[in-house]
């Protein structure tokens, strides 16, 4: 039986990621990067949105991916699992860099003025830097592929003993796991490129596989969703009050108990709330599903292109720039997805699609 709430969590979260990146591109509070502030506002209070979603939206994607991995492996062999994940995840984040995503590298480096510091450098070296800079948002599917590969020997080792134990997890235990989440957030964090948080996201993926893939656990969260949602709201409010104006994406903020505690409780709230109120499918969700992966893959290129070719000229007001960026993020991504998904080589290299009918979401 299809778990529609998982599909809806993924689809809605991708939309939240797109909105986040529009605000991130022109943010004026806390996190450096992107194009930078384009308003004359002394404080951009709407940047609070980034503080509200950042601690949990990638955690929930890894949790959902862990659940979907368990569901897939119940009906497919391990070999089929690795083959499908390699096609859908590894190919777009490696071959796709050379086939298309180098464009993201060029735009990002142009925004940051990187080419101005590379005079005299060999063209081959510059080209490789441009290609690697195109990874952008693909870091998520790179990590997801790695976790998927490592899951296979772990499955063989534990032989479902740990998975069966996960079915007994109740809400108090899930709350106490905040300590484990905090500990995982302190380890295996890469310097400079701070999105690669191997400890935190590996734990998220594994909890999805071993714990949240059980209907019993989701049922308990569903019954307790209202107080859990309230707790997440309180923690989120506290996080915004304490850290607004500081860099939430790097240490020490992203390793703080409040960041990780809020992120984990918010994930529990999303799982409980969505399973209770959004376990359905309709025409809208089906349309979103068909375009969700393409939206994730292409949106940042569209946003950053607006910043480079329009915002950088400084001739349009900030409101128009934001509107153009939102429009480009969605319309541009859907257009690129429609075109590239129909090109024989590029649909495989960029989107991991082997045939036009094989246009499925990352799971």
d(CA 23, CA 322): 8
Q: Quick check: is 98 in a domain? A: yes
Q: Quick check: is 148 in a domain? A: yes
d(CA 151, CA 67): 12
pLDDT above 60 for 63: yes
pLDDT above 80 for 1: no
Percentage of the chain surpassing pLDDT 90?
88
Q: Quick check: is 102 in a domain? A: yes
**Domain membership of residue 109 as a residue range:** 4-358
CB atoms inside a 10 Å sphere around CB 164: 12
Dihedrals φ, ψ of 251, to 5°?
A: -65, 145
CB atoms inside a 10 Å sphere around CB 341: 19
Question: Domain tally for the chain?
Answer: 1
Which residue matches tokens 């993201």? 104
d(CA 311, CA 305): 9
pLDDT digits (tens, 9 = 90+) for 174-206: 999 999 999 999 999 998 899 999 999 999 999
Q: Please spell the DSSP secondary structure of 19-77, one letter per residue.
A: HHHHHHHT--SS---SS---S--S--GGGHHHHHHTTTHHHHHHHHHHHHHHHHHTTS-
Q: Quick check: is 240 in a domain? A: yes
Q: Quick check: is 214 in a domain? A: yes
Q: Quick check: is 363 in a domain? A: no
Query: Which pTM was predicted?
Result: 0.95
pLDDT above 50 for 361: no
């Amino acid at each position: 039986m299809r778990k529609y709430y998982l599909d809806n969590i993924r689809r809605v979260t991708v939309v939240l990621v797109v909105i986040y990146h529009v605000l991130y591109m022109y943010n004026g509070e806390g996190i450096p990067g992107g194009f930078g502030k384009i308003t004359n506002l002394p404080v951009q209070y709407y940047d609070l949105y980034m503080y509200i979603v950042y601690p949990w939206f990638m955690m929930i994607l890894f949790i959902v991916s862990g659940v979907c991995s368990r569901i897939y492996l119940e009906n497919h062999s391990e070999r089929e699992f690795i083959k499908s994940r390699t096609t859908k995840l590894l190919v777009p984040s490696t071959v796709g860099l050379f086939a298309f995503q180098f464009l993201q590298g060029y735009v990002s480096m142009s925004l940051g003025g990187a080419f101005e510091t590379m005079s005299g450098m060999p063209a081959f070296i510059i080209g490789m830097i441009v290609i690697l800079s195109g990874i952008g948002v693909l870091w998520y599917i790179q990590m997801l592929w790695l976790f998927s590969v490592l899951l296979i020997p772990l499955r063989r080792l534990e032989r479902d003993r740990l998975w069966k134990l996960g079915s007994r997890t109740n809400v108090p235990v899930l709350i106490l796991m905040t300590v484990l989440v905090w500990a995982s957030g302190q380890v295996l964090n890469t310097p400079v490129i701070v999105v690669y948080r191997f400890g935190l996201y590996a734990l998220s993926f594994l909890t999805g596989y071993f714990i949240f893939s059980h209907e019993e656990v989701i049922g308990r969260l569903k019954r307790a969703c209202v107080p859990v949602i309230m707790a997440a709201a309180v923690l989120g409010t506290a996080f915004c009050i304490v850290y607004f104006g500081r860099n939430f994406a790097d240490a020490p903020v992203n390793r703080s108990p409040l960041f990780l505690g809020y992120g984990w409780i918010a994930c529990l709230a999303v799982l409980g709330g969505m399973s209770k109120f959004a376990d359905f499918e309709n025409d809208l969700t089906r349309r979103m599903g068909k375009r969700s992966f393409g939206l994730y893959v292409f949106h940042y290129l569209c946003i950053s292109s607006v910043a480079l070719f329009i915002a950088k000229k400084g001739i349009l007001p900030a409101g128009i720039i934001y509107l153009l960026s939102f429009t480009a993020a969605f319309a541009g991504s859907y257009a690129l997805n429609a075109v590239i998904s129909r090109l024989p080589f590029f649909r495989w290299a960029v989107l991991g699609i082997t045939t036009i009918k094989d246009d499925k979401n990352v799971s």
